[in-house]
Amino acid sequence: MTNAIEVENLKKSFHQFQLKDVSFQLPTGTIMGFVGENGAGKTTTIKCLLNLLKKENGEIKIFGLDHTKHETSIKQNIGVVFDDLYIPDTLHATHINNILEKIYDRWDESYYVELLKRFKIPFKKPVKQLSRGMKMKLSIAIALSHHPKLLILDEPTSGLDPIVRDEILDLFMEFMQEEENSILFSTHITSDLEKIADYITFIHDGEIIFSKNKDELLYDYGIWKGSMEQSMELSEHAKVRMRKNAFGVEILVKRNEVSSAFSLDKPSIEEIMLFFVKGVRP
Ligand X SMILES: Nc1ncnc2c1ncn2[C@@H]1O[C@H](COP(=O)(O)OP(=O)(O)OP(=O)(O)O)[C@@H](O)[C@H]1O
Judged by the rule CB under 6 A, the positions of this chain that interact with ligand X are: 14-15, 17, 36, 38-44
Q: Rounded to the nearest whole angstrom, what is the least distance from the CB of residue 212 to ligand X in the complex?
A: 19
Q: How far is the CB of 42 from ligand X (least distance, A)?
A: 4
Measured CA angle at 23 (ends 17, 24), to 5 deg = 125
Nearest residue (CB) to ligand X, 38 versus 245: 38
Beta strand residue intervals within the chain, DSSP E? 3-14, 17-27, 31-35, 57-62, 65-66, 78-81, 150-154, 182-186, 199-204, 207-213, 221-226, 239-245, 248-254
**φ, ψ (nearest 5 deg) of residue 129:** -95, 5
Q: Which is nearer to ligand X, 34 or 119 (CB)?
A: 34
Least distance (Å) between residue 121 CB and ligand X: 25
Shorter beta-carbon distance to ligand X: residue 87 or 189: 189
Q: Name the CA dihedral angle for 21, 26, 31, 36, rounded to a multiple of 10 degrees.
A: 0
Cβ at position 52, least distance to ligand X in Å? 10
Nearer to ligand X, 17 or 210 (CB): 17
C-alpha dist (Å) from residue 120 to 89, 135, 137, 248: 18, 11, 9, 51
Dihedral pair phi/psi, residue 250, rounded to 5°: -120, 130
Q: At closest approach, how far in Å is the CB of 180 from ligand X?
A: 28
268 secondary structure, DSSP code: P
Amino acid identity, position 195:
K
Sort residue 45 into left (φ over 0), alpha (ψ -120 to 50) or beta. alpha
**Closer Cβ to ligand X, 35 or 272, answer by number:** 35
Closest CB 91 distance from ligand X, rounded Å: 25
80 bridge partner residues: 152
Distance in angstroms (rounded) separating the CA atoms of residues 176 and 172:
6
Between 39 and 88, CB nearer to ligand X: 39
